[in-house]
Amino acid sequence: MTAMTQQVNLLIDDLLPKRQLFGAMHAVASASGFVAILIAISVHTLVDISRLTGQLDGLTRQLATLADANAKARASVNSVEDPRLAARVADLRAQLKSRTALEAALAGEVRTRSRGFSAHLDGLAANSLQGLWLTEVQLSGGGVRMRLDGMTIDPILVPRFLKNLGRNEAFAGHRFDTFELAADETGALHFTITGPDEDAR
């Protein structure tokens, strides 16, 4: 039995796959689709622009209406002015100015005026002790410096008297620097309290 063989050349041009390019119909169809997409986008954009333009026109008209109403309101407010009310306002301003000047003048006078001694004398009277007498009171500088002379039957009463004075508002914070106590020929106790010293101030 005889075997038959046949050789096939697979590299010949007839057996190679053929490349088919897009034809003219495909090109036309692709271009038409692209143009249709562009037209749709353009139409959508034009619709949006038209809608926004309409809204802008509406807002512009509203702003014009509000501006006109505002101008009319301002004109009506400025045109209506009561002469009596204006005169009353001017009079009140003049009164306020004069009162302010008067208050400033009075405040300056109070600051420059020296303090009186009534509060100190009231404090001395309110803190008197039985067995202790003041024989002389000297106040200077509006009560800044003072000298108290007196007599007592018990030397313990003098510091008690000073302690009570310290609780009084007129003597609060006052400092006495000198204290003298001496007995005379009769045995009576004389005291002198001064302060603050001139050098210590």
Are 134 and 183 members of one domain? yes
Distance CA 146, CA 175 (A): 10
Position 25, amino acid: M
Residue 133 sits in which domain range? 118-195
Are 123 and 161 members of one domain? yes
Domain with residue 187: its CATH number is 3.30.1360
Position 180, amino acid: E
Query: Among 136, 147, 151, which residue's Cα sits nearest to residue 183?
Result: 151
Residue 139 DSSP one-character state: E
Residue 139 inside a domain? The answer is yes
Answer yes or no: pTM beyond 0.85.
no
Residue 8 inside a domain? The answer is no
List residues bridging with 188 in a β-sheet. none
Q: Which two tokens stand for residue 196?
A: 């603050």
Residue 38 inside a domain? The answer is yes
CA geometry: angle at 70 spanning 69 and 71, to 5°?
90
The torsion region of residue 164 among left (phi > 0), alpha (psi -120 to 50) and beta comes to alpha
Residue 7 inside a domain? The answer is no
Residue 49 inside a domain? The answer is yes
From first to last of its 201 residues, the chain has per-residue pLDDT tens of 555 565 655 555 555 555 555 556 666 777 777 778 888 888 888 888 888 888 888 888 888 888 888 887 776 655 556 788 888 888 888 888 888 877 776 665 444 444 567 788 888 888 888 888 888 988 887 777 889 999 988 888 888 888 888 888 878 777 888 888 888 887 788 999 888 876 554
